[in-house]
């Protein structure tokens, strides 16, 4: 079975289990457009979206390795950032950003917030900060996620934070598929930039 066929099977299995296209995209580190294409195969004339699949389950399923990655994310931010003011909170984007943000918050003694993006909302309207974790208003925040695919979720959270009087200081990700330096004026600090060569 080819890797493309394996992705189709995984996407269809997740869909059968009740995951939304946005959740499947997060699970497979793909764009929502790519997931839609994987789920609707059989329609002729539809080109394969340009995307790169990243399978980092060897790290994400190992708490020790995940702790190492979270330390690397913070060290990368601290070495490259010109920020002099203290950071108050780390915000993990659900799902994959949450364990990373949790480990960073624990290691650095910061407040922890969790963001649920709109693509996880069945109505797809709004994202939100979980009420079970730290509030973000008036706090200087670092946003943490595993991967930038389109940048839509990160644009969404930056705008959300500003509307709620929080100060997004940085975006820290493991993988950047777009090669961006900033999103909505907020600097991006990635460990790896993934580029597709056509």
Q: Where are the domains of the chain?
A: 1-53, 57-193
Is 57-193 in CATH node 3.30.70.360? Answer: no
Cα–Cα distance measured from residue 38 to residue 48, given in angstroms and rounded to the nearest whole number: 9
The whole-number average pLDDT for the span 16-38 is 82
Cα–Cα distance measured from residue 38 to residue 11, given in angstroms and rounded to the nearest whole number: 7
Surface-to-core class of residue 46, CB atoms within 10 Å of its CB (0-12 exposed, 13-18 middle, 19+ buried): exposed
Q: Please answer whether residues 149 and 29 qualify as being in contact, where contact means their C-beta atoms are separated by less than 8 angstroms.
A: yes
Q: What is the pLDDT of residues 68-98, one digit of tens each?
A: 999 999 999 999 988 888 999 999 999 899 9
- Provide the pLDDT confidence category of residue 20 given band limits of 50, 70 and 90: confident
SS3 label, residue 56 = coil
The whole-number average pLDDT for the span 107-117 is 96
Sole residue written with tokens 């060569």: 197
What count of other Cβ atoms lies within 10 Å of the Cβ of residue 103? 23
Q: What is the pLDDT of residue 197?
A: 67
Q: Please answer whether residues 136 and 129 qualify as being in contact, where contact means their C-beta atoms are separated by less than 8 angstroms.
A: yes
Q: Please answer whether residues 171 and 189 qualify as being in contact, where contact means their C-beta atoms are separated by less than 8 angstroms.
A: yes
Cα–Cα distance measured from residue 15 to residue 137, given in angstroms and rounded to the nearest whole number: 35
At residue 186's C-alpha, the angle toward residues 180 and 187, to 5°, is 50
- Above pLDDT 70, what percent of the chain? 94
């Amino acid at each position: 079975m080819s890797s493309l066929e394996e992705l189709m099977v995984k996407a269809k299995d997740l869909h059968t289990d009740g995951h939304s296209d946005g959740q499947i995209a997060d699970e497979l580190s793909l764009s929502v457009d790519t997931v839609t294409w994987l789920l609707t195969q059989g329609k002729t004339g539809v080109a394969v979206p340009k995307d790169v699949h990243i399978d980092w389950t060897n790290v994400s399923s190992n708490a020790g390795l995940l702790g190492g990655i979270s330390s690397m994310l913070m060290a990368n931010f601290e070495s490259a950032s010109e920020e002099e003011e203290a950071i108050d909170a780390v915000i993990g984007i659900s799902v994959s950003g949450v364990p990373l943000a949790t480990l960073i918050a624990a290691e650095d003694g910061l407040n922890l917030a969790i963001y649920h993006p709109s693509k996880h909302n069945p109505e797809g309207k709004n994202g939100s900060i979980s009420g079970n974790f730290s509030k973000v208003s008036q706090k200087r925040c670092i946003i943490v996620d595993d991967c930038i695919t389109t940048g839509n979720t990160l644009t969404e959270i930056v705008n959300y934070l500003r509307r709620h009087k929080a100060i997004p200081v940085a975006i820290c990700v493991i993988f950047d598929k777009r090669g961006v330096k900033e999103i909505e004026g907020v600097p991006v600090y990635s460990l790896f930039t993934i580029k597709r060569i056509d």
